[in-house]
A and B are shown apart, each in its own frame.
Chain A
Amino acid sequence: MRWELDPNPSPGKVALTYGLFLALTLLALGVLFWAYGVSPLKAYGLLLSPLGDSLGLAEVARRTIPLLLIGSGLALAFRVGFFNIGAEGQLLMGAVGAAYVALFLPSGPWTLVLMFLVGGGLGAFWVGMAAWLRVRFGASEILTTLMQNYLAYYLVVYLVAGPWKGQFVFGFLYTDRFPQEAQLPRLGDTLVHGPTLLLGVLAAVALHLLLFRTPLGFEWRVLGENPQVARYLGLKGGQLLLLAGALSGLLSGFAGVGEVAGIHLRLLEPAQISLGYGFTAILAAWLARGRPLLVLLTAPLLGLILAGGDALKLSLSMPFRVVDVVAGLLLLALIGAEAASRHRLVWRR
């Protein structure tokens, strides 16, 4: 008896595995809720409650935006074999670029566009360094991009505590508020910044088309499936890798611009800017199995898990650590289901 890879699982099998894992998780969560003294059914209801009203949907959407942008870029990068773990840092660099344009350049109708260009550019440049090191010296991008997260983190801390610290913030660690021209329009009363959401949807669709409908995409896929074949075919592996990496950095940078220009309206402590979207998006990309279009599905799903956890926290006055366990278990179930559905049990030797 052994496990072996199932390269092409049937949809029924995938659905069944996901169902099984989710059922197991809900069972475990039920025990948790019950032990905490809450009716499990009520808690399940609350977890799904964001879907039931406009306020909840807005919360899901707000979390979906960065996950969608980063996730679709990462889905591409992972497909090509560039394991960018540094989206969080690239997001922060995007926020830095946006804040620079908003605070220190004369503002006008071009400000928002410039913020996206500079922020996205910084994100792309940031991951570009890691990609170049990989191409030139074979340095593992997993390590370099991961370490770059810390560099970006402390760069933001330095900026908000030092040269960029606001004049009207009573010693707190953030910059002054962005001028009106540097603020993204929001949908109605919500915190959903529309242009960034649109950008995310466009990015997922465009990357999907690029990957599956163009010669460039074909080369990317060959490189990702088998780098040696790519070399025999005479593909320029380095350039392909750089481009895919830079695209994912660009989109992560956009996500950072969206967070500061759409929600916070200022640069602030790194831990408050992103809530770990750069890491959660890795999951969104992974669950999408290298298909950027599928991120349109996985990003809102993860957004729902995050928003549902918040609803739980608020309605039941539950400690945040319990809620973290809930979100963690659900994410674990998704990972487990994804892994299990791609394998099959073989009974003979």
Chain B
Amino acid sequence: MRKLLPLVLVLLGLALGQGDKLKACFIYVGPIGDAGWTYAHDLGRKKAEAALPWLETRYVESVPEAQALPVIDRFVKEGCQVIFATSFGYMEAVLEGAKKYPNVIFAHATGIKRAPNVATYMADFYQVYYLNGLAAGALSKTGKVGYVAAFPIPEVKRHINAFTLGVRAVNPKAQVLVRWINAWYDPAKAREATEALLAQGADVFAFTEDTPTVIQTAAKKGAYSFGHYTPMLKFAPNHVVSGQIVHWDVIYIDFLKRVKEGVYTAKNLENVDYFWLLQHKAVEMGADYGVPINPKHVPLLQKAQMTVGGKKVSVYDRIMALMKDMQSPKPTFDPFTGPIQDRKGMVRIPAGKKATLQELLSMEWAAPGVVGDWPGEPK
């Protein structure tokens, strides 16, 4: 068997080289109509399929995290050569599946464990969250910003921290009130949490959940909000200020091209980790594509002032300047640049240092200004 393996690989390579279609299959954790995470991945899949004529795709939606392995079995049997698993919770199933099918290429979104045939990828929002935080800090009249959060995992904590650093850069006394709903997709819990935060006095909202529920609930009370994952302007045109928008297609197209070219094989993915940001165009700040800030709110942000290096500047100009910088090939600004203490006063990033990728991926501390329960907070 071991002797046959190279032969099989060569044959596989030949088959690919001869213009047969590459079959990539996607495992989604939610329904594709959720307007959030899964919808965004599916959009990426469709764009990749449109851009790459030699690509054929399949997907299956709403796969419970504990049920991913049978789906992998089935996909491999149907001839999938590349399998994208788009939820952190699929990690064990992906690693087990990768061992079982050493010739299939796996890519695990938001994952942290790799193998010769398992790559990890992520389009991360922390820079965008910081920019949105600046706007939120400027718009909040009560000084209380609400955050409806999914799971207390490093990814979400990193985003809340970046957002809070932004809020505090404008309004050093502001608070970000956090509520965990322990679900990626749960409109009912999201609504409950939003209403509770409204009652606590929050008047600007950001969130991590896969529906526009927070936006709609907040807008009913006239509160501003920031969309998450996909353009959400249409759900509350007067209240969505901006948001985080992902372009998974950028990563999918890059990855699949390299698979097709033979750069990525089922043997050399051990160190392939995409952590793509503004500069890679994998994420975008915006209420809608190409609309960084809702034109209705631009005058408000132009009027709002903040202090940067002892000088007064308008929040709008600051956002635009930082965005331009972070979109450039060599960004000079990073939200997680020291000195940064956590909310308990412990120095987390020393002065003059930027957080390393490892520090970003394992972030458990809470930034000053974060108010509320924080499971797993370091003592």
Contact = CB atoms under 8 A, between A and B. Distances in A.
Interface of A: 53, 55, 59, 62, 161, 170-173, 189, 191, 263-264, 268, 271-273, 275, 310-311, 313-315, 317, 319-321
Nearest 5 CB-CB pairs, A to B?
Answer: A171-B152, A171-B153, A320-B62, A272-B66, A314-B60
Contacts of A321: 31
Contact of A191 (B31, B60, B69): B69
Contacts, number: 63
A268 B69 CA distance: 16
B95 interface: no
A272 B33 CA distance: 21
Given A161-B182, A272-B64, A172 B89 contact: yes
B237 interface: no
B89 A313 contact: no
Contacts of B100: 189
B64 A275 contact: yes
B375 interface: yes
Contact of B60 (A55, A161, A171, A313): A313
B77 interface: yes
18 contacts: A55-B74, A59-B74, A170-B88, A170-B154, A171-B151, A171-B154, A172-B151, A172-B153, A189-B73, A272-B64, A313-B60, A314-B58, A314-B60, A314-B71, A317-B58, A317-B60, A319-B33, A320-B31
Contacts of B195: none
Contact of B375 (A171, A315, A317): A171
Contacts of A173: 151, 182
B334 interface: no
B31 A171 contact: no
A272 B65 contact: yes
Interface in B54-78: 58-62, 64-67, 69-71, 73-75, 77-78
B74 A314 contact: yes
Most buried by A among B71, B74, B75: B74
B157 to A, nearest CB: 8
Contacts of A310: 70-71, 74
B376 interface: yes
Nearest to B100: A189
Contacts of B73: 55, 189
A215 B182 CA distance: 52
Given A171-B375, A314-B74, 13 more contacts: A53-B77, A161-B182, A170-B88, A171-B154, A172-B89, A173-B151, A173-B182, A264-B66, A273-B66, A314-B75, A315-B58, A315-B78, A319-B31
Contacts of A62: 70
A189 B61 CA distance: 24
Given A170-B154, A171-B152, A320-B62, A55 B77 contact: yes
Nearest to B27: A314
B32 interface: yes
A314 B78 contact: yes
A319 B65 contact: no
A304 B60 CA distance: 19
Nearest to B42: A317
A310 to B, nearest CB: 8
Most buried by A among B58, B60, B153: B60
Contacts of B64: 271-272, 275
Nearest to B150: A171
Interface in B218-254: none
B74 A311 contact: yes
Nearest to A311: B74
Contacts of A264: 66
Most buried by A among B71, B89, B153: B89
Contacts of B69: 191
Given A161-B182, A264-B66, A319 B32 contact: yes
Contact of B61 (A161, A170, A273, A319): A319
